[in-house]
Amino acid sequence: NGEMRAWNGEVHEVLSPVCIRTEKGLERKLIGTYPLCSEKEADEALQAAVAAYNNGRGEWPTMSVADRIHCVEQFTHKIIEKKAIVVKLLMWEIGKSYADSVKEFDRTVEYIYATIDALKDLDRQSSKFSIEQGIVAQIRRSPLGVVLCMGPFNYPLNETFTTLIPALIMGNTLLFKPPKHGTLLHYPLLEAFRDCFPKGVVNTIYGRGNKIIPDLMKSGQINVLTLIGSSKVANELKKLHPKVNRLRAILGLDAKNAAIITAKADINLAVQETVLGSLSFNGQRCTALKIVFIHRSLADVFLKELSAAVAELKFGMPWETGVSLTPLPEPQKPAYLKDCIADAVAKGAKIVNDNGGDSCESFVYPAIVYPVNKHMKLYTEEQFGPVIPVVPFDDLEETIQYLIDSTHGQQVSIFSNDDEEIAALIDPLVNQVSRVNINCQCQRGPDVFPFTGRKDSAEGTLSVIDALRSFSIRSLVATKLNESNKH
Ligand code: G3H
C-alpha cells in the first residue's frame, strides 16, 4: 500500500548457489536476508489491492490508457537506472551467467516497451465505433480486478514482468510475490513501484508461498491467478478459491519438450541446437529440450558429437567470461538429478560423456544418458537441469505416440532435411503441442509470438499482445441510433 514495512519478525537467509570454501568444505555463501511476512500482513496487502481497485472505481482502473502508459514509462526509466545491481543479484541469487543476466534485464525492458506499443494500438482500435443493425458500439478492453502474480526462479525478473506489466497496464491492481530464489533482486525496484503508481496498485509481499498464498486464494478476493511454475501448485491453489469459476488463471507450467532427430537430419545442426536447447542456463528453462529422440541409425555418431560439444562448454562462476554452465540455485536439485540418473543406470542406461553427472555442492556437470526408455524417470519427469536423456527410435510413429501419451504439451523440435518428411509430421505434432520448431531448438521468443501450451503445460496465452488480452475483458458501450438518441 505504498509503504515499506519495517520488519522484525522471521527472515529468510539467502544462500547463493555461488559457493565459498570453508573449514567444512564448499558451502553456499550467505548473501542477504529478506523478511517473511505472516498471513496477516499478506492479507493487509491484499486488502490494499482490493481497496485500490475499489470494484473498478479506483483511480487506477478508471485512469485513461495514456496516463497508465505514462506511469509505466516512468517506472521503466527508474528500473533502467537499477540495471547494474539487478544484474549482479541475478548472478548471485540464481547463478545466471553475466551475459544471460544482462540479456534477461534488457529483454524485460524491451518487453515493457513492446507492451506499451501494443496497448497504444489496441487503444486506437477502441476509439473506433462499430455500427451494426442500428446499434453503435465502442468496443474496449476493461480490467479484471485483483491479480495475484507469481514468477519463477529461472527468469525471476523477465517472466515475472511478462505477467505483471500487462496485468498492471490494463488497469488491474496487484499482489506480487517474487520467487523464493530471486527475491533480493526485486528489492531495488520497490521504490520505483511506490513512486510511479498510486497507493495500493502494486503490493509486493515476501514470504513462504505455502504459508501465505492459500489464505489469499481462500479469501475469494483474487480475480486472476498468474503463475509461472508447477502445474501441481497451480491446481492446488485454484481449488482453494471459493468460486473457482470466477477465477481467471493465466499459467505457464511444466513442460517436457522433445527433440526428434530423424534419419534424414543434419547431425551437426541437430547437435548444436540440442546443446543450446538442453543446456542453456543449465537446462533450467521450461522451454528446454528435456528429452531427445534419435533415429537408431544415427545414434552412435550423434552421441559422439554431442559428448564432444558438451565437453567444449565452459563451466564456472556466473561472472566469468564465456561461461555457460553455472551453479544451480535449488539446493535439492543436485540430489534429485543424481537420483534420476541412478534410476536410469539401474534400468540399463549409461552415462555416455566423460564426467557426466559429477557434482560438487551446487555444481552438476551435464550428463548424457542413453538409451533411455519408458520405465525410467528421465522419460517422463521434467528434470529441469543439466541432464540430456536420449531415446533411440526406429519408426517416427513412436515419437508421435510419446507426445500423445505425455501429460505435457508445450513444444517440440524436429530435425530433418527432408521437406516431405517434415510436412507429414507437422499436423500430428502441432495437434499435440503448441509450437513446432523445425531444425531449431525450442524457445519462448520472440516475445511477440504467442506463448502457451496444451495439457498440463499452460492455461491462457502470454506474449506481448496476448498478455494484454489475457489480463482484460472485452467490453462495450452501446447505444441505439434513433431520432431521440443522437448524442
Ligand atoms: O522457463 C521458461 C521460459 O519461458 C523460457 O524462456 O525460451 O526464452 O529461455 P526462453
Non-local (6+) Cβ contacts of 292 within 8 A are: 258, 259, 261, 274, 278, 388, 389, 390, 391
Say if ligand 1 is within 6 A of residue 154 CB: yes
Peptide bond between residue 446 and the one before it cis (omega within 30 degrees of 0): yes
| 3-class secondary structure, 291 | strand
> Which of 408, 443, 452 to mutate to test ligand 1, by most ligand atoms within 8 A of the CB atom?
443
| Helical axes 98-126 vs 83-94, angle rounded to 10° | 120
Flag whether pLDDT at 485 surpasses 70: no
Which pLDDT band, with edges at 50, 70 and 90, does 481 fall under?
Answer: confident
Length of the chain: 487
Say if ligand 1 is within 6 A of residue 155 CB: yes
Say if ligand 1 is within 6 A of residue 107 CB: no
CA 351–ligand 1 middle distance (angstroms): 27
Say if ligand 1 is within 6 A of residue 444 CB: yes
CA 279–ligand 1 middle distance (angstroms): 12
Say if ligand 1 is within 6 A of residue 174 CB: no
pTM of the model as a whole: 0.96
Give the CA angle between residues 125, 248, 470 to the nearest 5°. 25
State residue 349 phi and psi, 5-degree precision: -90, 170
Alpha helix stretches (DSSP H) within 312-380: 333-346, 377-380
Residue 128 confidence (pLDDT): 84
Say if ligand 1 is within 6 A of residue 163 CB: no
Flag whether pLDDT at 484 surpasses 80: no
Query: How large is the average pLDDT for residues 220-240?
Result: 97
**pLDDT tens-digit profile of 26-46?**
889 999 999 999 999 999 999
pLDDT more than 70, % of the chain: 98
Alpha-carbon distance of 92 to 80, in angstroms, equals 19
> Which of 105, 254, 286 to mutate to test ligand 1, by most ligand atoms within 8 A of the CB atom?
286
Query: How large is the average pLDDT for residues 387-414?
Result: 98
Cell of 288: 528446454
Which pLDDT band, with edges at 50, 70 and 90, does 55 fall under?
Answer: very high
Residue 21 confidence (pLDDT): 87
**pLDDT tens-digit profile of 338-366?**
999 999 999 999 999 999 999 999 999 99
pLDDT more than 90, % of the chain: 93
CA 308–ligand 1 middle distance (angstroms): 25
Q: Quote the DSSP letter at residue 462.
A: B
Q: Which helix (H) or strand (E) holds 437?
A: strand 435-438
Residue 455 confidence (pLDDT): 97
Which among 204, 209, 164, 171 is positioned nearest to 188, based on CA atoms? 204
Say if ligand 1 is within 6 A of residue 434 CB: no
Alpha-carbon distance of 368 to 389, in angstroms, equals 6
CA 217–ligand 1 middle distance (angstroms): 27
Say if ligand 1 is within 6 A of residue 445 CB: yes
Nearest atom in ligand 1 to 155's CA: 1
Query: How large is the average pLDDT for residues 168-177?
Result: 98
Nearest atom in ligand 1 to 154's CA: 1
Say if ligand 1 is within 6 A of residue 411 CB: no
**pLDDT tens-digit profile of 236-262?**
999 999 999 999 999 999 999 999 999
φ/ψ region of 304 (left if φ > 0, alpha if ψ in -120 to 50, else beta) reads: alpha
Alpha-carbon distance of 320 to 389, in angstroms, equals 28
Flag whether pLDDT at 486 surpasses 70: no
> Which of 94, 103, 154 to mutate to test ligand 1, by most ligand atoms within 8 A of the CB atom?
154
Say if ligand 1 is within 6 A of residue 97 CB: no
Residue 320 confidence (pLDDT): 96
Cell of 300: 552412435
Residue 261 confidence (pLDDT): 98
Say if ligand 1 is within 6 A of residue 285 CB: yes
Flag whether pLDDT at 381 surpasses 90: yes
Which pLDDT band, with edges at 50, 70 and 90, does 270 fall under?
Answer: very high
CA 286–ligand 1 middle distance (angstroms): 6
Which pLDDT band, with edges at 50, 70 and 90, does 225 fall under?
Answer: very high
Amino acid at position 270, single letter: A
Q: Which helix (H) or strand (E) holds 193?
A: helix 190-196
CA 327–ligand 1 middle distance (angstroms): 18
Query: How large is the average pLDDT for residues 41-64?
Result: 97
Amino acid at position 7, single letter: W
Cell of 135: 446499434
Residue 482 confidence (pLDDT): 79
| Helical axes 98-126 vs 158-169, angle rounded to 10° | 20
Residue 6 confidence (pLDDT): 66
Neighbour count for residue 38 (Cβ, 10 Å): 15
**pLDDT tens-digit profile of 88-98?**
999 999 999 99
Say if ligand 1 is within 6 A of residue 289 CB: no
Cell of 364: 552438476
Alpha-carbon distance of 1 to 203, in angstroms, equals 6
**pLDDT tens-digit profile of 287-329?**
999 999 999 999 999 999 999 999 999 999 999 999 999 999 9
**pLDDT tens-digit profile of 3-32?**
887 676 889 999 999 998 888 888 899 999
Q: Whose CA is nearest to atom 2 of ligand 1?
A: 286
pLDDT mean across residues, the chain: 96
Cell of 155: 527468469
Which pLDDT band, with edges at 50, 70 and 90, does 183 fall under?
Answer: very high
Provide, for the chain, the percentages of residues in helix, strand and coil under a 3-state DSSP scheme, each rounded to the nearest 5: 45, 25, 35
